[in-house]
Amino acid sequence: MRSLIGKKIKGERKGKGSAQQKSVLDSRAYAYEQRRLPFYRRIIPIAEEWIPNGFGWGLTLGLFGITILYGASIGGENQTTLEKVSSVFGLKIEAVLISGQKEVTEAEILRVLGINEDSSLLTFDAYDGRKKLENMSWIAEASVQKLYPNKLQVMVREQKPFALWQRGEFLSVISYDGSVLSDHIDPEFANLPLVVGHGAQRQAASMFELLAQYPSLARKSRAIVYVSERRWDIYFKNGVQAKLPEIGVADALEKLIAFDEDGSLSRKDITVVDMRLEDRTFVRMSKDAAAKRRAALRTLGAKIPQEVQT
């Protein structure tokens, strides 16, 4: 009797052990099979537990609708209709973040970009918008970025006003490269250097760079004039005019510095210093100064030629 009970207990233990061993083997086999499956096959059972029913259809239809709208915008369909339809998806431009502008107003930027209350972020062409901004005279560089779902970020870098360019009665603000920035002269630009003459706007930067090497002359100068698009004249603040040669401008400026060692350029009796010839310098005096000089020479008994007297 005891032997039968013992066999039965051993059999039960053996059965339980084999069942547990089979369970472990089955779980290992299942895990092995799962590792062999592609990722999307493994994630689907997990996703099915928390993704609501119909989500896949909704996502598919949404993407399909957006694709149709985008294709229609490329195909040149009615832009207003596309903007109104895309606003249903929450893609209407609600805010435009603008930075870097000073001379250009936000209203001008929005007008150039064509942004209005019905504009859609989906149909807006950021590349075209950047090109339009960079075509504005004041803007040197622009960046336009879409921030989904409903914002547009615009960053600009403006040109720096360099000088005032005068040709005849027209006066403009120009940049370093000679581009015209504005024909409206604000009071803040009144102290900019003055450049005069046709073609002067393209050559002014190099002349000012050369003049900057002679600070004493640069401080006294009021304007530079491009003569016949060949050479420069410098007009100083006291009215004295220095005529520079076409070639050897740096050497002429050195001579002008030497001429001004005693403050000659600040004297009121000199009107013109002509340095166009390499081997000599001519000085023209004002009428009053010339008359006084002639009178002084006559007092000393000097004979003055008739052509000089007139």
pTM above 0.75, yes or no: no
- Assign 66 to helix, strand or coil: helix
pLDDT in tens, the chain (310 residues): 445 444 444 555 555 555 555 455 556 555 555 555 555 455 555 555 555 665 566 666 666 566 655 565 555 455 555 555 555 555 789 999 999 999 999 999 999 999 988 888 888 999 999 999 999 999 999 999 999 889 999 999 999 999 999 999 999 999 999 999 999 999 999 999 999 999 999 999 999 999 999 999 999 999 999 999 999 999 999 889 999 999 999 999 999 999 888 887 877 788 899 999 988 899 888 766 555 555 554 555 555 555 444 3
Three-class SS state of 48: helix
Measured CA to CA, the distance from residue 118 to residue 73 in angstroms comes to 15
Determine how β-strand 139-147 pairs with β-strand 151-158. Answer: antiparallel
Angle (CA) 183 189 190, round 5°: 105
Q: What span, in angstroms and rounded, lies between the C-alpha atoms of 237 and 93?
A: 54
Helices (H), the chain: 2-36, 39-50, 55-74, 79-87, 106-113, 126-134, 200-211, 215-220, 249-259, 287-299, 306-309
CB 151 within 8 A of CB 94: yes
